Each structure stands twice: as C-alpha cells, then as structure tokens.
Amino acid sequence: MHSMTIGIIRVQKTLYIDLQVASSYFISQITDPYGVRSSYGDVIHKDEQLQNGLFSFTSKGYGDYLMCFSMHNPHSSLPVSVDLILKLGWAAKDWNMIAKKEKIEGMELKLKRLADMVYYIHTDMLYLKKRGLWLSMISKKTESRVAWLTSISILISLLMAGWQILHIRSYFKKKSIL
C-alpha cells in the first residue's frame, strides 16, 4: 500500500513473454487517470477517474510493465492511498471458472492447478537459464575487453618507460654526467 498527496506512484514489474497477469486496485479518493504501459509503449489498461477496478492481460513480450497512479489536485490535503494486488502466472487464473467450464472438481482440479504451477515454474527456470547464459556471454566479452585494455595499458606504460629512460640518458650525456 502506498499513499501520497500530490505526485505519481509507479510500480514497475519485469514480465516475460505470454505471462498472464490479473490485478485489482483500490484508491481511497478519485485520482487522475490510471494506466498500465508495456516496455514497447503500448497502453494495456487505462481508467479515467475510478476508485477501484480490475484488469488482466497477457504480456506480449519480455520487458518492464509500468503501472502509474497519479494525483495532481493541489487543493486536496488528504493523502491518497493505493492498494494494488498483482497476480502473475498460475495465480492469475480464475480456477473456479475453469472448474465450472471443464466440469471438474476436487482432486482433479488440484492436479490441474499443480500442473499449471509446474508449467510456470518450468517456464521461469528456462527463462532464468537463458538469462544466465546471456549474462555469462556478456561477462566473457567484458572480461576479454578488460584483458585487451590491460595489455594495451601495460604496453603503453613500458613504451613510455623506455622513452623516458632514453630521454634521461641523452639528457645526462649532454650535461656530461654520464
């Protein structure tokens, strides 16, 4: 729960492809428009001056999804509180509706729910594995770049040291010290 008098509350969540999202919200006063925007700039949901509501969507791609609540009424001194409940993946599904639609109940419904949970956990694991490989590749590239820069830096330092030794030797020869 967040509260404010004037300003913007932003909730940012990183979602992967084809993730089902369901949300409900309650705002203590009527505020400015509320919206959800994807990382691609698409407006997924927008409400005009509502105090509570529901929305759901399926993410179209990997990225950050931004939920914004704003309050710009300078005449109001009362703080506005925002309650946002965000459910992702298997938790976002309405299992009662699924049970009625498919005419299943009891243990079969629990098994279906568990199978769906396993699917989303497996999807998360695959995503984390893919992201780990990507981060490992970036780390290796960065490591090789640092190695090259270190080698170049050492080479330049040795060349500068050699040049300084030659310059000092010629200086001392001119002054007849050596």
Per-residue pLDDT band at 33 (split at 50, 70, 90): low
Mean pLDDT of 155-174: 95
Residues 6+ apart with CB under 8 A from 88: 13, 15, 19, 20, 21
Residue that is last in its domain, among 72, 92, 112? 92
Asked whether residue 64 falls in the same domain as residue 109, the answer is no
Total number of domains in the chain? 2
pLDDT tens string 75-103: 666 666 777 788 887 777 877 888 888 88
What is the spatial distance between Cα 19 and Cα 58, in angstroms, rounded to a whole number? 5
Average confidence score pLDDT of the chain: 81
CA 34 to chain centre: 20
Asked whether residue 118 falls in the same domain as residue 136, the answer is yes
Residues in the chain: 178
Asked whether residue 12 falls in the same domain as residue 68, the answer is yes
Inter-residue contact 100 to 44 (CB < 8 Å): no
CATH number, residue 57: 2.60.120.380
Q: How many CB atoms lie within 10 A of CB 105?
A: 10
- Domain extent at residue 21: 2-92
Asked whether residue 52 falls in the same domain as residue 20, the answer is yes
Inter-residue contact 65 to 38 (CB < 8 Å): yes
Residue that is last in its domain, among 92, 126, 143? 92
Phi-psi region of 114 (alpha: psi -120 to 50; beta: other; left: phi over 0): alpha
What is the spatial distance between Cα 23 and Cα 53, in angstroms, rounded to a whole number? 8
pLDDT tens string 129-141: 998 999 999 999 9
Q: What is the pTM of this model?
A: 0.57
Nearest to 80 by CA among 148, 29, 24: 29
Mean pLDDT of 27-37: 67
Residues 6+ apart with CB under 8 A from 32: 49, 70, 71, 72, 73
Give the orientation angle of helix 95-102 with respect to helix 107-174, to 10 degrees. Answer: 130
